[in-house]
Structure 1
Amino acid sequence: MNKLVLILGSVLMTYGFSEFTAEESVASSANPTADSLVYLEPKPEHASETFVIVNLLNRYHYRKIDLDDSLSSVVFDNYFESLDPNKSYFLKSDREYFEKYRYTLDEHFPEGNLDFGYQLFSVYRERSLARIENIYNLLEKEPDFNQDQYFETDRDKLPWAETHAELDSIWVKIIKNQAMSYKLAGKEWPDIADALKKRYQRVEKALYQYNSEDVYQAYMNALTSAYDPHTNYFSPIAKENFQIDMSLSLEGIGAQLTQQLDYTKVADIIPGGPAYKSKQLQKDDKIIGVAQGDDGEFVDVIGWRLDEVVQKIRGPKGSIVRLQIIKHNKDINSLPDTLRLVRDKIKLEKSAAKGEIIPITEGNQQYQLGVITVPSFYLNFEDMNKGVKDYRSTTRDVRKLIDSLNVKGMDGLVIDLRYNGGGSLQEAIELTGLFIPDGPVVQVRNTDNSVEVMKDTDGGKVFYDGPLAVLTNRYSASASEIFSGAIQDYKRGVVLGENTFGKGTVQNLIDIGRYMQQKDVDLGQLKMTLAKFYRVSGSSTQLMGVSPDIAFPSPYEDENFGESGRPTALPWDEIRTTKYDPTNTISDQMIVHLRKLYNKHLQTDEDLADLQKDVERVRKLREETKVSLNLEERKAQEQQESETEADLSTTLQPSEVFTDEVNSEKLSEDPYLKEALRLLAELSKNKIG
């Protein structure tokens, strides 16, 4: 297992890079001509590279599936989806023409035959360029914003357009919908038309600048994602961006970015940074606009190169940047959210665990309850390998925090793992070891079906044996799920909050050049799923995640948030239970008692009741995918949605570090934590008594 490069956090998925600068695109008033359109075909090395990729997937991918007609069909659909996810460029006849390839790709890939990938991209580019010419014509005249029209933002529900005229009518609504966002911001038509024209000039420029590597990467990702959503191919330039010194991205908002065709996507959030603290920017959100300061104009960055967008977002500590974002669970044609962030210098201390004592009173008894927030499972490998005595790690920091909280008379402890996307597997195991005696923490099944049991080996010592609760939400993933699952299986503590994300797989990075003779050619990289995590009980954390003992109101539907929302995600399954000795600190009777108490609080606690109402309103709003194209009706629609989302966003944000003078009003700002503490107080009764 130690041979693997473990990647337990978020995943980068990229489909292509545009080789042009934003300034060149905006400055260029003349459209490229058909004469400058380069015919794209595979490079000489792509055939043998494909052969290597197919063999690596067949031999080493965890999911033992054959590259057959069934998988060929999945790749076929994946590629169409990656190029035209909103069914706004291809016609039904295009799909029908290419249907002849649906069940033949399994024969093509081993032969290095990439005809389908390049042919379909050529048609996509042709359709897109023709569509952009039509868009320029649409922008010559202001649309009527007083008409009672509606636009279906979830185009996945609808069939492919059968005629160009049908696509024309769809694009009338798309452009009107895009213009509406500017209109709601108070812009007049000349400025709106100019902004949209520049946007599509950038897109047009990108279409002319795509190269063979861009197409190859998009096509290979259609293949790799058919195995599972975390297996990806990186072209040489994408590999370079993936391996870039991340210190560059830490000066600013604390987010790693990647590119998917014309859009900049959030690949990961750095714990402790402005984006992390906001809780409003998440993995896979698309950034479509950037503004400087509180008064700066938004610059449309659709079609920009990744490094150009990064330069716009980065800036000196203390300065303000505003982002327009399309949430990961929304269609690209939805109205963007606006996020205001104060740039900062991200340091390890800011992403490290933090702790505080929160005194609360329940039943005329005061409890001194500790809260330790763990934003990620971190380990300073460099200092550890150098032999630095006090190197930083999650477990080391939590030990110190527990000591300091015990000095203050801690009666019980909450480990807050909300928004913790994972990190070091070693740290997840060692942190679990602070709360249990010696024993297994997680099982890892490898691609050859061998199972490795990974144990806590600290000599049987239990560093903290008091009342324990673990607080999770839908964004608690990977290493967070290993820790919370172990605490639950050992019956050592109670897990509260939301169901976790459900990422229970392990990836390894493989340089394709290692398997090829062409030493003078820069080749890509394959990130491939090689193993799967299982709890000591034998249940996988994959797909299902960790279900809390007591579930709090959650705005996240399983089908849209988390691993279960990904069509090719590996399934949940079970293996044999490994031998372990539960502590039985938490009994089944205690769980039943706490659930009854929680249900009582749900009826009587104003903060919980308000949270549940907000959650229900947001869920209902998310079910509605039609938006009005009538200005006044849209204003009312957006006002209602923004107020509801803002209320819930504020409510769901974990509070900053409390002081000992925390009052009930302050605690009400974080009803999840408040309820976790109330239930922990019940667990602490025996200790106090």
Structure 2
Amino acid sequence: MKLSQVLSTSLIALALAAPLGLMARAAGDSNNAIGEAARVDHATTSKLVYGLLSDSRYAYRPRALDAAMSAEIFKRYLESLDGAKLFLTAPDVAKFAPYRARMGEALKQGDTGPAFAMFALYQQRVNQRVEHARGLLKQDIFDFSGNDRWHYDREDAAWAKDQAELDHLWKQSVRNDWLRLKLAGKKPDEIRKTLDKRYANISKNVAQLNREDAFQSFLNAYTGAIDPHTDYFNPRSAALFNQSMSLSLEGIGAQLQKQDDVVVIREIIAGGPAAMSEKFTPGDRIVGVGQGRSGPMEDVVGWRIDDVVEKIKGKAGTQVRLDVVPAEAVLDSTPVRITLTRAKIRLEEQAAKAKVLTIPTGEGQPGKRIGVIELPAFYQDFEGRRTRNGDYASATRDVARLLQRFRTDKVDGVVMDLRNNGGGSLTEAVELTGLFIDKGPVVQVRESGGRVSVESDRSEGVAWDGPLAVLINRSSASASEIFAGAIQDYGRGLVIGETTFGKGTVQNLVDLDRWPANEGTQYGQVKLTIAQFFLPGGSSTQNKGVVPDIRFPVTVDASEYGESTYDNALPWTRIAAVPHVQYGNFATLLPKLDALHDARVAKDREFQWWSQDVAEFRAEQEKKYVSLNEAERRAERDRQAAKRKQRQEERKRLGLALDPLAEESIDDGLQSSERNVAQDAAREKAAEKRPDPLLRESAAILADAVRLLDGNRQLAAAVLPESTAPGRWAR
């Protein structure tokens, strides 16, 4: 396991941000001093957030900012700084003890002093730990013949009692990093160079974290204490969140990544200015940015990625000049200057996509053609819809177009693939459900005062009235659960997969600038829990999630991931049902489908391999450590390589689709920022083409249902009464 994986819960992870960045930093801000204007902004913002979350008119479950809450804010802020407990010691935490009782009052009064004091010591300790780690690389500690282990799961561990205990933890972590690279074939000098740079970059990245970052983490320690899904976004983070929901941005159309001190082009978005210019390739490095045709060029080497992105993005129609060092050139080569006109970019990769699978019937009949729609999020361009921009992004509109294509192609059924769909717009969940039902309630919403309102599909007619299945997993959440749960309550389609996440609450974005009547974007936004939702049948998805009709093996246990793992999550409950049509009842059909499913997957090599891999993964995760014995690790690595090779040979023999990543090393020991950017992006694209036995099996289950209902009028009448309009599966 990589050090960055261990640190994923700490503030360091913010500095190791993904492409396009996540955190804000004001240009010229210093970690040692902050201007009076910024200090006043923080104080005002803190008071606004407190006022919002302590008021039952806004918050679904307001909590008093008492001593217990203060202690919880303190604990959560500590976790945001050093969640893996690898930098601070028990004596360090003891120094902070006076803040435990003060955190609540400090937040209420807009006093950021305690948070910044803790942040300053954290930065100091990171530098000390990094220097220690770099020093270890020069020592003779890399013998891997013993029985040592690296216990990487530190979430429930106690704080190290002293520096000596931290030294031991870091020694084991560094040894694990070294062993991974050694097993990947790297020589000692190369390993030492790679790790020294990696650890030095941790210091650089944490040094770039500033008070704005610490302030956002401080406020989120409070919002997270209210409930798991309430968040504070500073102005830049708010803009990025809205961008992700609208599936659009204004810029050059390139996905960027930080690599050492330079921002690199990872992917070029089709149809954007960068692609249209034909002057860029993945791996090109941006070293300078200038505004317009004559604005001064700014050297951006060493900048945070979000600061570079902020310079490159801009209003559509404006120009930006970039100094670019080509991927194949050394970094100190003379850069090429390229002028681009910014445009509005649609992020098509994150939009709904469709394909058709042909499922053999095994009866000498033509196979069933099942249309699949992959929906990664319930996205909506809120601003575009508000201003009645006819071209605004909408998950429902995109899915409706794909269903029209399926009707034209006369597919036999449709699978909505909502795996890993974390939700999005409630409006989109309601309207998307309306594509499959002919008017009626979709979700009940209970506000803090107890008032229940019903969100309904009011549009007559459907976009698809034929056979339907919904594929879900543990990462299907919120709006995905509304859609899947409503389809299940209506008996409109089969729900297949794993029990969902269990997020049954509704959030709304509140702009903090509205109260001081501020015309700018000064104070940020709060994503605030305002209500709890219930399905038409009255059940909440909160904590329990949506339970599928046909179940696949569980990839992750409810005790490890999902709403049930949050200590302050709302409990499951139910309210009265609202009248809604029952299009079908699959109870009599499910045993037959289960039997066919079990018989098929027993012979499906891809499905069996997937099941084996899930079982191995879960067993490995249960250990919460990795061995530091080279022979043991090498034997496991060889076993995995042999397994991949054997499976690929069997795919060839059976005529199955080949795995494009079968020849890839299972672990190269590198972090994303250390790999060749173009090759890494290509590997990511190839992963999308890997065999997907779960999707194919879901389509096969739906094909089974169609075949059974087509061939048995009595069964069809019991499952799907002919009086219903949508949902006429038997043709």
Report the TM range for the smaller structure's normalisation.
0.7 to 0.9
| 1:561 aligned counterpart, secondary structure | coil
CA contact (8 A) 1:357 1:405 kept: no
Aligned equivalent of 1:131: 129
Residues 38 and 208, structure 1, Cα contact 8 Å, conserved in 2: no
Question: What is the deviation of 1:560?
Answer: 3.2
Residues 522-561 of structure 1 aligned to structure 2 (within 5 Å): 522-561=522-561
Aligned pairs for 1:590-609 (under 5 A) are 590-609=589-608
After alignment, is 363-372 or 240-249 more displaced? 240-249
Change (3 A) 1:582 1:500: same
Change (3 A) 1:396 1:604: same
- In structure 2, give the amino acid aligned to 1:673: L
**Alignment match, 1:68:** 66
2:46 is equivalent to residue 50 of structure 1? yes
Residue-by-residue CA offset, 1:58-101 (whole Å, 9 max, x unaligned):
11222232222222222121111111111112112233343344
* Corresponding position of 2:474: 474
SS of residue paired to 1:63: coil
CA distance in 1, matches of 2:573, 2:644: 35
Residue 454 of structure 1: aligned partner: 455
Q: Distance in 2 between matches of 1:558 and 1:648?
A: 30
Map of 1:642-681 to 2, 5 A cutoff? 669-681=691-703
For the residues of structure 1 that align with 2:520 and 2:183, how far apart are their CA atoms?
Answer: 54
Whole-Å Cα distance in 2 between the matches of residues 46 and 54 of structure 1? 12
Partner of 1:610: 609
Residue in 2 that maps onto 1:629 = 628
Structure 2 gaps, min length 5: 1-8, 20-29, 272-281, 285-301, 314-321, 329-344, 652-656, 661-688, 713-731
Deviation at 1:528, TM superposition (A): 1.9
Q: Does structure 1 conserve the Cα–Cα contact (< 8 Å) formed by 2:442 and 2:456?
A: yes
Letter in 2 for 1:95: V
Provide the TM-score with structure 1 as the length reference.
0.73
- Offset, 1:504: 3.1
Q: Distance in 2 between matches of 1:204 and 1:636?
A: 35
1:93 match: 91
Q: Given the superposition, is the C-alpha separation of residues 655 and 378 from structure 1 closer, same or farther in structure 2, using an over 3 Å criterion?
A: farther
What is the distance in 1 between the residues matched to 2:521 and 2:373? 47
Q: 1:57 offset after TM fit, Å? A: 0.7
Q: In 1, distance between residues paired with 2:410 and 2:547?
A: 31
Q: Which residue of 2 is the match for residue 159 of structure 1? A: 158
The amino acid of 1:221's aligned partner reads N
Per the normalisation by structure 2, the TM-score is 0.69
State the shift of 1:615 in Å. Answer: 1.9
Match of 1:488 in 2: 488
Query: Aligned residue for 2:434?
Result: 433
Kindly provide the CA deviation profile for residues 539-563 of structure 1, in whole angstroms up to 9, marking residues without a partner as x. 2233332111111123222233333
Partners of 1:383 and 1:81 lie apart in 2 by 38
Shift in CA distance, 555/308, structure 1 to aligned 2, threshold 3 Å: farther
Opposite residue 68 of structure 2, the aligned amino acid is S
Determine the C-alpha separation between the residues in 1 that align with 2:60 and 2:646: 42
Distance 1:369 1:643, change over 3 A: same
- Paired residue for 1:683, among 705, 715, 726? 705
CA distance, structure 1, for counterparts of residue 10 and residue 526 of structure 2: 11
Q: Where does residue 191 of structure 2 map in the other structure?
A: 192
**Aligned to 2:547, what secondary structure does the other structure show?**
coil
Stretch of structure 1 that moved more, 128-137 or 160-169: 128-137
Whether the 8 Å CA contact 1:378–1:423 is kept in 2: the answer is yes
Instruction: Quote the Cα distance in structure 1 between the aligned partners of 2:132 and 2:561.
Output: 36
Gap change, CA 1:271 and 1:414, over 3 Å in 2:
farther
Q: 1:590 to 1:668 in 2, by over 3 A?
A: farther
Q: Deviations over 1:324-355 (max 9, x none)?
A: xxxxxxxxxxxxxxxxxxxxx97548833424
Distance 1:518 1:385 in 2: 21
Moved more, 484-493 or 38-47: 38-47
Q: Structure 1 404/211 Cα, relative in aligned 2: closer, same or farther at 3 Å?
A: closer
- Structure 1 residue 668 displacement after superposition: 11
Counterparts of 2:167 and 2:225 in 1: how far apart (Å)? 32
For 2:241 and 2:410, the matched residues in 1 are separated by 46
Question: Is 1:140–2:112 an aligned residue pair?
Answer: no
Distance 1:480 1:243, change over 3 A: closer
1:444 aligns with 2:445: yes
For residues 599 and 467 of structure 1, the distance between their equivalents in structure 2, rounded to whole angstroms, comes to 21
1:129 alignment partner AA: N
**Letter of the structure 2 residue corresponding to residue 214 of structure 1:** D
Distance 1:621 1:225, change over 3 A: same
What SS is found at the alignment partner of 1:197?
helix
Aligned to 2:360: 360
1:535 shift after superposition: 1.0
Percent identity between the two aligned chains: 36
Task: Rate the CA distance shift 1:500–1:17 in 2: closer, same or farther, 3 A.
Answer: closer
- Does 2:572 correspond to 1:572? yes
Contact kept, 8 Å, 1:362 with 1:678, in 2: the verdict is no
Question: Is 1:618–1:644's contact at 8 Å kept on the other side of the alignment?
Answer: no
User: For residues 390 and 525 of structure 1, what CA distance do their matches in structure 2 show?
Assistant: 26
Does the aligned pair in 2 maintain the 1:601–1:608 contact within 8 Å? no
CA contact (8 A) 1:484 1:546 kept: yes
For residues 136 and 548 of structure 2, the distance between their equivalents in structure 1, rounded to whole angstroms, comes to 52
> Relative contact order (alpha carbons < 8 A, sep ≥ 6): 1 or 2 greater?
1
Q: Give yes or no for contact 2:359–2:703 (8 Å, CA) kept in 1.
A: no
Listed one character per residue, the Cα deviations across residues 25-74 of structure 1 (whole Å, up to 9, x for unaligned) are: xxxxxxxxxxx983679924433432221111111222232222222222
SS at match of 1:130: helix
Q: Which amino acid aligns with 2:39?
A: K
Q: Distance in 1 between matches of 2:532 and 2:10?
A: 20
How far apart are the structure 1 equivalents of 2:479 and 2:555? 23
Contact 1:411–1:687 under 8 Å retained in 2? no
Secondary structure of residue in 1 paired with 2:491: coil
Aligned pairs for 1:90-489 (under 5 A) are 90-148=88-146, 149-239=148-238, 242=241, 246-247=248-249, 251-252=253-254, 292=283, 305-307=304-306, 348=348, 351-356=351-356, 358-362=358-362, 366-375=366-375, 376-378=377-379, 393-399=394-400, 401-406=402-407, 408-459=409-460, 461-489=461-489
Q: Is the 8 A contact 1:544 1:572 kept in 2?
A: yes
Deviation at 1:136, TM superposition (A): 3.5
Relative to structure 1, the CA distance from residue 506 to residue 134 in structure 2 (aligned partners, 3 Å threshold; closer, same or farther) is: same
Whole-Å Cα distance in 1 between the matches of residues 578 and 646 of structure 2?
45
Distance 2:179 2:350 in 1: 39
Distance of aligned partners of 1:349 and 1:48 in 2 relative to their CA distance in 1, 3 Å threshold: closer
The Cα of 1:320 is off from its aligned counterpart by 11
For structure 1, the residue ranges without an aligned partner over 5 or more in a row are 1-11, 23-35, 274-290, 294-302, 322-344, 657-666
- TM-superposed deviation, 1:419: 3.4
Q: 2:71 and 2:696 mapped to 1: Cα distance?
A: 49
2:370–2:703: 8 Å Cα contact kept in structure 1? Answer: no
* Conservation of the 8 A alpha-carbon contact between 2:601 and 2:607: yes
8 Å CA contact 2:47–2:109 kept in 1: the answer is: yes
Flag the 1:128–1:435 CA change in 2: closer, same or farther, 3 A. Answer: closer
Aligned to 1:38: 32
Aligned residues: 588
When residues 348 and 161 of structure 1 are mapped into structure 2, their CA distance, relative to the original with a 3 A threshold, is: closer
Cα pair 2:254 2:268 within 8 Å, conserved: no
Shift of 1:456: 1.3
C-alpha distance in 1, partners of 2:420/2:134? 43
> Shift of residue 208 of structure 1?
4.7
Q: Distance in 1 between matches of 2:613 and 2:513?
A: 52
Match for 1:687: what amino acid? D
**Which amino acid in 1 is paired with 2:526?**
L
